[in-house]
Amino acid sequence: MKKIFILFLSLFLIGNLSCENGSREGDSKIISVQKLISISPQNMEEILNQKNIPHGPIVFGYDAYKVVYETKDDFGEKVIASGLLVVPVLPDIIPEEKRKLYSFPVVLNHHGTIFQDNEAPSYNYMPADTSTFSLISLFTGIYGFATVFPDYIGYGESKNHYHPYMIQNSLAQASIDMLKASIDFCERNGILVKRDTYITGYSEGGYAAMATAKRLQEKPELLINVKAVAPLDGIYDLENMGLAVVSQEEIKYPAFIGFLLYAYSKTYPEDVILNQLVQEPYATIIPTLFDGKKSAVEINSSLTSKTLKLFYPQAMQDFALNPKNPFRSKLKENNTDNWAPKFKMKIIHCEHDDVLPYQLVEISFKKLVANGAEDIELVNPEKVFSSLVDNDGWSHKECAPYAYQLAAKWFCILERGEDSCR
């Protein structure tokens, strides 16, 4: 155990890359930063033990901050957005003279689909049974990453703006601006973080992670070194997803489709016109559902699961047969599998996902390889954890903790080596 600790410590101390002397070309526009809570390493270890979560010889505490910053929406308009920054707190076991040498790598995590504003990360920093805290425990408490959680436009400080659901430009922009703001805050306040960034996210967050990684590859002037990307149980070919939806009689989770229709009608009002695609009463109902107050259950119950009752039949037919259909064209425009990643990528997706089909992700994986991606892998958690899976496999919701475990451990191995990440 002592040898593992020494190795873990030495790997943290190597390569202090705080970028204090680097170019400021990619500086952010920070509005404010508020410290929310500080959890000691001792308290974090107690929490992990209470929850029977295995961990290594070092457990980190954390300081949580709400970061408010400026970004832009799809119309180029300024938006005041927010997110959660979580920075590790070093345990007492680390000598005082070595504490100033620490430099933390960063994980940029994109959250999945949420409908209520109070589900956004910047509200969920306390030790509790929330998905955000479970990821704080995993990435920061156990593995010692500084973790950045964008709320996205439409939540937190920007809750009065509609959320651009599954629209790559503003998802990537808000996430990158949050990352820049977080790194800039750390660098200006003596918190040593690296610009080595690992990118992940689940469901909508998997899509957002892919969009963000693509944008960062296109923008080297931002000085963000993407070490690896792990999109989790997302969808990356929206056009194919749309074709799959209109080919089916039933929509399992109509709230997701309603959210997509609403966001696209707001972002592309001349191309996606609700009352030309969607039948009444749903064309009138949809704009009232996504106000950040209604739950997924409420939204699902307000819509129909019958495809032929939701959409006009002629609209479905044109979507299916006409590649130039305006809605279909906008979905295609937002595909995120039409590039060649130059960094390591591991797409993690459960084969029995009941919301986002594994088969569509296989198609996207093959497209990325055909585009020239070389260091890329498609991983099915149900095979990795086969002894834990029943005959029905894991649903979209059930897959999440296992997908994140694979991503976090992979990031740790890349950063510090396998011996430090058991």
Mean pLDDT on 243-267: 97
Instruction: Give helix 282-289 / helix 254-267 axis angle, nearest 10°.
Output: 90
Q: Which residues contact 180 (CB under 8 A, 6 or more apart)?
A: 26, 27, 28, 69, 222, 224
Q: Would you state the pLDDT for residue 130?
A: 81
Gyration radius (Cα) of the chain, Å:
21
pTM of the model: 0.92
Q: Would you state the pLDDT for residue 27?
A: 65
Mean pLDDT on 238-256: 96
Instruction: Give pLDDT tens digits for 113-141.
Output: 999 999 999 999 998 878 899 999 999 99
Is residue 12 over pLDDT 70? no
Is residue 10 over pLDDT 70? no
Q: Would you state the pLDDT for residue 58?
A: 85
End-to-end CA separation in angstroms for the chain: 11
List, in order of start, the domains of the chain with CATH numbers: 2-236+341-420 (3.40.50.1820), 238-333 (1.10.260.160)
Report DSSP state, residue 79.
E
Mean pLDDT on 211-220: 96
Q: Which of 90-104, 155-169, 296-310, 334-348 has the lowest mean pLDDT?
A: 90-104
Calculate the average pLDDT of the chain: 91
Residue type, 373: A
- pLDDT-derived band at 16 (thresholds 50, 70, 90) equals very low
Q: Give the containing element (helix H, strand E) for 131.
A: helix 131-135
Q: Would you state the pLDDT for residue 246?
A: 96
Coil, helix or strand at residue 379: strand
Instruction: Give pLDDT tens digits for 67-111.
Output: 999 999 999 999 999 999 999 999 887 777 777 677 899 999 999
Mean pLDDT on 147-164: 98
Instruction: Give pLDDT tens digits for 313-372.
Output: 999 999 999 999 999 999 999 999 999 999 999 999 999 999 999 999 999 999 999 999
Give the span between the Cα atoms of 420 and 182, in whole angstroms: 26
